Amino acid sequence: MNKTEFIEQLKKALTGLSEEDIRKSADYYEEMIEDRMEDGISEEEAVNGLGSIESIREQILMDTPISKIVKEKIKPKRALRGWEIALLIIGSPVWVPVTAALIIVALVIYLCFWIVILCLYVCDFAVFFSGFAAIIAAFLQENGFSTGLLYCGGGIALIGAAILLFFGFTEIAKGMLFVSKKIALGIKKLFVGGKKS
């Protein structure tokens, strides 16, 4: 595929973004192709080296704030007619609370997502702190050496478990972050639409 075909396919894939964003992205990739060609690479190799249109589209969508995408999507393409304005006003007791409720539910779900991650780390800290408390209790207790040794061993086991849990919880947090990015990308794709190549 040559540069012109690539840029045209990219513009089609970004349909739904603002004209300015589409133009900026097209200019950026056109310049990137030209820079590669100046380095002695053929036009086809320069285009193929950029990756697929879909992967570029996903990266552009990830970098574009959702507020900008929604604003472009809801921006009227023409002036509203009188009867459309009247319907919006008459229907506002229904669509305003429903829209607000949907936004609030989405925010609560997003907040819960991060609360789960926070709770994992709080639990890990509690296990780690309990291990230190058990070791301190081993020296302060008055039930004999064997009980102190049991406390100390339990404390070391808890500290070790907390260290292992930290790495496990970190992987879970990374996975949840990956899922949240994919969900955000999916929402952006719903708003943008556009053609996939």
Please list, in sequence order, all residues whose beta carbon lies within 8 angstroms of the beta carbon of residue 73, skipping any fewer than 6 positions away: 16, 191, 192
pLDDT of residue 144: 86
pLDDT of residue 63: 82
CB 16 within 8 A of CB 24: no
97-135 residue pLDDT tens: 998 998 899 889 888 888 999 999 999 999 999 999 999
Parse the chain into domains and list their residue ranges. Answer: 3-74, 90-192
Task: Going from the first residue of the chain to its last (197 residues), give the mean pLDDT of each consecutive group of 10, the final group possibly shorter.
Answer: 86 83 88 86 84 86 78 72 87 90 89 90 96 91 87 94 94 90 82 58
